[in-house]
A = this chain, B = another copy of it.
């Protein structure tokens, strides 16, 4: 798990919100914060792959995680350079040219989920059938203290709204927290963080403010994280995917409430309170 390799990367994270003037229901001016939303086109060895709309706080990790999650690369060592340039709204990825033909991945970007129309390259659904996340148990009390800690995050949301947050957690410790205009970008940035740092999903917990749709569950399963927790609800297909890959799926996690949709046997109910 100890990878020391790192591609040459820019550090082009943007600050996330800017003030603007709004008129409220009293007809009064009020200064509010709006999150930025920037286009970022990913080029791999000069080939245009996709344009993402992002808040822009972690463009390099987003790029890495996107390419990893979409099945473009397996080994981080294939990536030599990740260079973000906001002037041209582009990120240039240079590889070792082991793979140079992405036409297969590009041609198959048809299954789209997420907020309904995300893009999934390749045969992710097929791939999921072979994925079983490692077994993991979690205590209810750990879950509660994790949710407590998370309350201090959600910084951008509190200030400007219009974002989704995702976190990679070890027990009640938050390893990495990302917010973005798209919850899929936030997931991808975390995937990039894990990939870059050689972190496996084993014994981790993935938290998202977003809904537990099929694409969310597929991505987290791919990342090998056994527990997926959300403040929001789930869809039937999200649940089905979780059953397939063995992900413990918990929805509506807020305060002391939660609903376990899959893998209840992995939860140790050590903090049950009488009503």
Mark A residues whose CB is within 8 Å of B. Answer: 18, 20, 22-27, 30, 32, 34-39, 41, 48, 50-54, 109-119, 140, 160-162, 164, 180-186, 210-215, 232-239, 251-252, 256-261, 264, 267, 269, 272-273, 275
Contact = CB atoms under 8 A, between A and B. Distances in A.
A30 B257 CA distance: 13
B110 A258 contact: no
Contact of A115 (B118, B232, B237, B239): B118
A235 B35 contact: yes
Contacts of A264: 23
Q: In the complex, which of the residues A24, A30, A210, A232 has the most CB atoms of chain B within 10 Å of its own CB atom?
A: A24
Contacts of A180: 116
24 contacts: A20-B239, A22-B259, A22-B260, A22-B261, A25-B257, A25-B258, A25-B272, A26-B269, A34-B233, A37-B213, A50-B112, A53-B111, A53-B116, A53-B117, A53-B215, A114-B116, A115-B115, A115-B116, A115-B164, A115-B182, A161-B211, A162-B232, A181-B211, A181-B235
Given A22-B260, A25-B140, A256-B25, A237 B53 contact: yes
When all copies of this chain in the complex are counted, the total is: 2
A22 B117 contact: no
Nearest to A143: B25
B117 A36 contact: no
